[in-house]
């Protein structure tokens, strides 16, 4: 038994609605987490400092590429 074209359209529509509902739920959860734990401007990385480190490493070790820079605040 093969499903008719309308059955396939309904299956796709239900799957699309389910994915949309799940993504909307996840967006709401992420929004609530961001509101509960706001990021301070002082906690954000300094782009000019990161670029200076990248250039220094590139000059010191040619062909080397920086993957990640972590700042440890004490």
- Is the pLDDT higher at 67 or at 32? 32
How many structural domains is the chain composed of?
A: 2
What is the pTM (predicted TM-score) of this model?
0.52
Residues sharing a CB contact under 8 Å with residue 50, sequence separation 6 or more, in sequence order: 69
What span, in angstroms and rounded, lies between the C-alpha atoms of 22 and 48?
A: 38
Its sign, for the CA torsion 64, 65, 66, 67, is: negative
User: CA-CA distances (angstroms) from residue 41 to 30, 44, 46, 49?
Assistant: 19, 6, 10, 15
- The verdict on 1 and 31 lying in the same domain is yes
Mean pLDDT within 36-50: 79
Mean pLDDT within 45-73: 82
- The verdict on 19 and 33 lying in the same domain is yes
**Domain that includes residue 30, residue range:** 1-38
């Amino acid at each position: 038994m093969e499903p008719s074209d309308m059955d396939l359209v309904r299956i796709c529509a239900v799957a699309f609605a389910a994915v949309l509902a799940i993504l909307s739920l996840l967006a709401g959860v992420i929004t609530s987490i961001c509101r509960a734990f706001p990021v301070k401007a002082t906690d954000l990385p300094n782009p000019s400092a990161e670029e200076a480190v990248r250039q220094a490493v590139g000059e010191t070790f040619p062909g080397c590429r920086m993957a990640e820079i972590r700042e440890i605040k004490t």
